[in-house]
Amino acid sequence: MATSPETYIIAKSESGKAPGDVVESGNEAAPGIARHDVKAVNAKDERSLYAERVAIHPKRARGTFRNLKWITMALTLGVYYLTPWLRWDRGPALPDQAVLIDFEHQRLFFGPMEIWAQEFYYVTGLLVLASLALFLVTALAGRVWCGYACPQTVWTDLFVMVERWVQGDRNARLRLQKSRWSTEKIWKISLTHTLWLLISVITGGAFIFYFRDAPTLAQELFSGTAPYVAYLFLGIFTFTTYALGGLAREQVCIYMCPWPRIQGAMFDDHSLLVSYRTHRGEPRGPHKKGEPWEGRGDCIDCKQCVVVCPMGIDIRDGAQLECIQCALCIDACNEIMDKIDRPRNLIAYDTFHNLKAAETGGSVPVKIFRPRTILYMVLLPAVLGLMAYGWVNRSELQVNVLRDRNPLFVRLSDGGVRNGYTVKILNKRHETRNFRISIDGLPDAAATPAINIVGIETADPEIAVVPDDLRALRVYLSLPADTVKSLKDEATDLTFVVTDTGDGSQTRRTTNFRRPK
């Protein structure tokens, strides 16, 4: 419950200091509320092109958005770590892992769906859908993806949680960092990095489990019988997780990731962004008990919004490239507003239009539907519908015909001409199928070409293709001299017809037959 301005109360330790805060004499934002002596990494007058990194130790925040981040982190980590262990029965001779990227057989299994390498355009479509969804979310609410669901944010949050659990909250970590090396310091830092490495190993292991049966590969990893490639990628992803999530942290978002720069073209004056309401907060400054609030702003310059920020910025300086829209500064500020009995949301999700209108006492409603967002909303179902139509009408047979380019043709001893082709038949069914190859589309004057398939001596053979397999055939078409002379063009179109002898379905592929000039 909020207290009156005359009775500010904060839970304190036996020393009289709020947990995790250092209350310096004469340096309080309000009675009992620490005014942190901290400089934001984005301090306007101290920006430098080549700046030494300032280690950021964010203080723990409590509130609605922090809880939302905990929930998002639990869901994303749970999905990532547990998905390879989910089973899906596809029948005999097929993998039963629900999600599997099978490089050996060039297929992607996702529940009931089976995507072949030749159908990679479906994966491209999923990436397009994800991009459009990201663009829409960014146009509506800025970089909320970065603040809540980005892997870099999720794992950094996890690593900071471990660091806080071992070393304490912000001030305790700062004291440990500045203290001399001792048994306690060595123990805490060693334990922190050990736990980070353990998380990194589990993360790397979970990743490679997506590429091979998880229980089998896990057993092989522990017994030392796994392929060397598995150990190689386990090491690579262990190192990258440890380096990016534990050591680099916010530096990845600021310098390595291109998205902060791209997002500048994604949102506009109607986008909801984490914003400091200057019209309410200024002029800022410490507030003493009993002082009136008239003629001053609600911001008491406690800098709680800075110390909880994982990027180390001061949101009061306005929209910034570093801000990931995590809204932890909102939670921190709301907690302070409750303690000094002032209205919440001095920092809040707001639009530039509304902030500008608020300076003159006005208000502008959030405008969700605008040309940019409508475009994304139209494209999303359109792409999804196109993919769904393609999936429903996808064929269980794929045929590719590639004519030889060197040589273009071979002149036979009897004056005839022969062309060579490579015919690839992909059987996507889980049963053996038999096919016959015939030629169609030649001019009426042309005789049916002789078809010779390398490795098959019988005339008009049935070609068997085993389940879930691709069979490549070398096929030669020969035309006699009289027929060749009747062809009007050097390149004459013709059609390969591949007929399934079981159900009579046909797949046709057009190519051409080349002759001498």
DSSP state of 19: T
Q: Could you say which of 334, 358, 382 is where a domain stops?
A: 358
**Rounded Cα gap, residues 107 and 115, in angstroms:** 6
Residue 401 lies in a domain: yes
Beta-strand runs (E) in 353-462: 397-403, 410-411, 417-427, 433-440, 450-453
Same domain for 347 and 283?
Answer: yes
- How many angstroms separate the CA atoms of 260 and 255, rounded? 9
Residue 466: inside a domain? yes
Query: Both 195 and 241 in a single domain?
Result: yes
- Looking at residue 481, its pLDDT comes to 87
Same domain, 284 and 236: no
510 and 405 housed in the same domain: yes
- In terms of domains, do 433 and 468 share one? yes
Token pair listed for 106: 């060039």
396's CB contacts (< 8 A; 6+ apart) are 427, 428, 429
Q: What's the pLDDT score for residue 363?
A: 87
- Residue 370 lies inside a defined structural domain of this protein: no
The answer on 212 and 156 residing in a single domain is: yes
Whether this prediction's pTM lies above 0.85 is answered by no
Say if residue 261 is in the same domain as residue 282.
no
Measure the CA–CA gap between 453 and 475, rounded to whole angstroms: 5
Residue with tokens 């005999």: 92
**Is residue 219 within 8 Å of residue 230, measured between CB atoms?**
no
Q: What is the reported pLDDT for 175?
A: 94
Residue 135 lies in a domain: no
State the burial class of residue 192 (Cβ atoms within 10 Å of its Cβ: 0-12, 13-18, 19+). buried
pLDDT in tens, 254-283: 889 998 888 878 888 999 999 999 999 999
User: Considering the domain boundaries, does residue 99 fall inside one?
Assistant: no
The answer to whether the CB of 472 falls within 8 A of the CB of 424 is: yes
Rg (CA), the chain: 33
Domain end marker among 265, 296, 320 = 265
Sequential pLDDT tens for the chain (517 residues): 344 333 333 333 334 443 344 444 456 666 667 767 676 766 555 556 566 788 899 999 999 999 999 999 999 999 999 999 999 998 888 899 999 999 988 899 999 999 998 889 999 999 999 999 999 999 999 999 999 999 999 999 999 999 999 999 999 999 999 999 999 999 999 999 999 999 999 999 999 999 999 999 999 999 999 999 999 999 999 999 999 999 999 999 988 999 888 887 888 899 999 999 999 999 999 988 888 888 899 999 999 999 999 999 999 998 888 999 999 999 999 999 999 999 999 999 999 999 999 988 888 889 999 999 999 999 999 999 999 999 999 888 999 999 999 899 999 988 899 999 999 999 998 899 999 999 988 876 556 788 899 988 877 788 999 998 899 999 999 998 888 888 888 888 999 999 999 888 999 999 999 988 8
Number of domains in the chain: 3
Q: Return the pLDDT at 50.
A: 63
* Count of C-beta atoms within a 10 Å radius of residue 223: 8
* 146 within a domain of the structure (yes/no): no
Mean pLDDT computed over every residue of the chain: 88
- Domain boundary among the residues 221, 244, 265 is at 265
- The answer on 495 and 409 residing in a single domain is yes
Q: Report if residue 59 sits inside a domain.
A: no
Q: Are residues 347 and 330 in the same domain?
A: yes
- 194 and 257 share one domain: yes
Q: What is the DSSP letter of 324?
A: -
pLDDT in tens, 342-377: 999 999 999 999 999 998 888 888 999 999 999 999
> 323 and 276: one domain?
yes
Would you say the C-alpha torsion 238, 242, 248, 253 has a positive or negative sign? positive
- Residue 228 in any domain: the answer is yes
pLDDT digits (tens, 9 = 90+) for 8-47: 333 333 344 433 444 444 566 666 677 676 767 665 555 5
Q: Which domain holds residue 352?
A: 31-41+268-358
Same domain as 300, residue 261: no
pLDDT at 11: 37
